[in-house]
Amino acid sequence: KNEVEQSPQNLTAQEGEFITINCSYSVGISALHWLQQHPGGGIVSLFMLSSGKKKHGRLIATINIQEKHSSLHITASHPRDSAVYICAVRFLGDGGKLIFGTGTRLQVFP
């Protein structure tokens, strides 16, 4: 069965802390996405990756294809990073649709 699991479900941090959110999936993928969702529902795509590592500002996403695992890191976290972070994958041979994890709710306190 094509499944995506995220951990932790909830995460609180003090401003400035280094944050890591993990995502694992069950079978081979063509791409993995990290998404950010703020209260009110809007979803923003942060990264799409199929191998290696990508960096954008304070955000870093890595993926290990052999271990079927990805991580999203936030360096020097800030209260404005508070949001739900969702991992979503496109499984091989599964068309273009995304299968989503349940999300990680991050709260960063000043």
Interface residues with other proteins (CB under 8 A) are 4, 30, 33, 35, 40-45, 48, 86, 88, 95-103
Smallest gap, in angstroms, from Cβ of residue 95 to other proteins? 5
Task: Classify residue 66 as left (phi > 0), alpha (psi -120 to 50) or beta.
Answer: alpha
- Closer to other proteins at the Cβ: 41 or 57? 41
Asked if 88 contacts 94 with a C-beta cutoff of 8 angstroms, the reply is no
- Closer to other proteins at the Cβ: 10 or 75? 10
Smallest gap, in angstroms, from Cβ of residue 15 to other proteins? 26
Tokens of 2: 């094509």
- Closer to other proteins at the Cβ: 5 or 15? 5
Smallest gap, in angstroms, from Cβ of residue 58 to other proteins? 20
Asked if 32 contacts 49 with a C-beta cutoff of 8 angstroms, the reply is yes
Tokens of 7: 């951990």
